Structure 1
């Protein structure tokens, strides 16, 4: 029976950490080691995880100075001894049979990585992305080229490090980039380049908790790290997957437009307008490449044309489109499957 190492980076999650650890401790798969990395958390997280370690010999506790999520994951990887590794974020939780199911799928298919579907977990409801697959669809196997295409698109294969069972020897020497947000974008493509067989199971077994105080909901200039990550990945794509260059350009353009609009909405964080200028200059510099890439994508093509005239015109287009959808002159975009909870999480 293979061993699975579960790495949990922990920082300021006193309210949620027990739910996370309990879901791992109670796994139906017996051969698990649990590596809890206290990233200098100023609350009681350190004390809580020490208590768990006293009760369960499978738990290893690491205390370190605060260095961020990447640094905590990297530190956790130093203690991994399992044939497989699973990352779980400390405010999330997993189904009790998740590890057992993912190991079985990996062994049955000789897979390097197995991806679980997940719920976006809110306090009183869950959302499941059923736009491409339903929960009863058979597992999806991807070869390396199919995998890299899906990773770049970030729809069927997400850039998230969590929720995937990795063969440890695949990732042991690949560190997360320190000091950035969206660190997974800088890391995932380097891992996936090594993958021969990738399996997606459509049964949601990971709960991705959405809390208002998380970094996703507090916009700052650091959120622009994702654009830098996508640019860095693009250089990799140019070198190793040149036939996916247009897909990469589309994702970069989409993110540039999104973050330009977010900067407009949050004027206070970009008072001198330098960040907006940099995005606009980059789009202007790469305009011909973007124009070629969005051919066939009507929405992005329109946005690029409007933005190149003036960003406000694109904002007006998006506002009008939103209004038309609201009054049902345009169809609503396909939504996610919602499941109400009888209790609050």
Structure 2
């Protein structure tokens, strides 16, 4: 395998984790890589750390720019990518040693456009492997475009994340990430996957997705609502290009809307006049017939929809009751996430 893989790493305020990330890339068993480090105006020592790696290894290219956010940094990195294949790695995450090797082998052997691996949710003292959607020793899965888009909309086996995948670079060059939004991957992924003919899923966990201690509830802001904007943009695309997936897209929009209504309620200081909650409620009311049809076969989600339609607080009470029941039954349920005790190195 003589093809070069461009690995793009946007960097901002991660000096605690940066050595771990970059070392995991440079220590790959697949050595023909170029590592593109984008210092996005980080105010800490990240820029100096990145420069240090570039001085020691000719495969590393470091660029410094004014802060523009994750999307802007990724777009900047893509302008400098020269490899036939591209990966995105977030700077607080890291790769398993054979990640690129195994992904390259699969993409070439099956003449695929994109390969996605399974991954670990990496906590400080343990890892979690999602057994609901991946089987560690399972065979790889090959998807055509129609099945790929269905799985992307469901966001279970195929994730919307840009990271954890190996792409043919030509697919990405003219599809930039949307700047100035959170959840930028949701605005971007469907545009890329629309071009994919063959998509491979490796059940082997090759990417470590670091879980910081920050709570989404404690740190919730109105910007988190960008995910709903992204899903609405994607839904318009689905209506135009994939008529058979419209109902699945409505389900995704409903689930996300209900979650964020509840998060806004728990963070009412971020929605003092309740306008954001009213906007969510209006969308669900205006699209009730479509949402009701989309959830006909999902009794639980359909019940949540009907309760919310009557009064949002009824759905919140229902969810609270389910939470209590789950706690009472927890010992009798099979584990959805396999826990692996492994201490995570935080720094170099």
Match of 1:150 in 2: 151
Secondary structure at the counterpart of residue 329 of structure 2:
coil
Please tell me whether the aligned partners of residues 324 and 330 of structure 1 are also in contact (alpha carbons under 8 angstroms): no
- Cross-structure match for 2:329: 328
Q: 1:133 Cα shift?
A: 2.8
Map 1:115-130 → 2, pairs under 5 A: 115-130=116-131
Matches within 5 A, 1:145-184: 145-184=146-185
Question: Map of 1:1-345 to 2, 5 A cutoff?
Answer: 1-213=2-214, 218-328=219-329, 332=333, 335-342=336-343, 345=346
Change (3 A) 1:170 1:21: same
Q: 1:215 & 1:19 partners in 2: Cα distance?
A: 24
In the alignment, structure 1 segments of 5+ residues that lack a partner are none
Structure 2: distance between partners of 1:239 and 1:56:
47
Cα 1:343–1:19, aligned 2, differ >3 Å: closer, same or farther? Answer: closer
TM-score, normalised on structure 2?
A: 0.96
Per-residue displacement from partner, 1:262-315 (whole Å, max 9, x unpaired)?
111111111111000000001000000000000000111010011011011111
Quote how far apart the aligned CAs of 1:135 are.
Answer: 0.6
Q: CA offset at residue 156 of structure 1?
A: 0.2
- Displacement of 1:41 in angstroms is 0.2
Once the two structures are TM-superposed, the CA of residue 323 in structure 1 deviates from its matched residue by: 1.0
Alpha-carbon displacement from aligned partner over 1:22-75 (angstroms, at most 9, x marks no partner): 001111112100000000000000001001100011111010000000000000
Matched residue SS, 1:328? helix
- Cα drift, residue 322 of structure 1: 1.0
TM-score normalised per structure 1: 0.97
**Structure 2 residue matching 1:123: 3-state secondary structure:** coil
Cα separation, 2, equivalents of 1:12 and 1:288: 45
Q: Secondary structure at the match of 1:7?
A: strand
Per mean C-alpha deviation after superposition, the further-off stretch among 245-254 and 95-104 is: 95-104
Contact 2:123 2:344 in 1 (8 A): no
**Secondary structure of residue in 2 paired with 1:327:** helix
In structure 2, how many angstroms separate the alpha carbons of the residues matched to 1:162 and 1:302? 34
Q: CA deviation at 1:89?
A: 0.2
Q: CA deviation at 1:341?
A: 1.6
Q: CA deviation at 1:321?
A: 1.0
Residues 253 and 205 (structure 1), Cα distance of their counterparts in 2 relative to 1, 3 Å cut: same
Q: How many correspondences in the alignment?
A: 345
Contact 1:321 1:330 in 2 (8 A): no
Tell me by how many angstroms 1:324 deviates. 1.5
- Whether the 8 Å CA contact 1:148–1:193 is kept in 2: the answer is yes
1:340, CA displacement in angstroms? 1.1
State how far apart, in whole Å, the 1-side matches of 2:249 and 2:230 are. 12
CA contact (8 A) 2:217 2:263 kept: no
What is the distance in 1 between the residues matched to 2:280 and 2:12?
A: 32
Long gaps (5+) in structure 2? none
**Considering only aligned residues, what root-mean-square deviation do their CA atoms show, in Å?**
1.6
- Quick one: structure 1 residues 135 and 160, their matched pair in 2 at CA, closer, same or farther if it must change by over 3 Å? same
For residue 212 of structure 1, report the CA deviation from its aligned partner: 2.4
Q: Structure 1 residue 86: deviation in Å?
A: 0.4
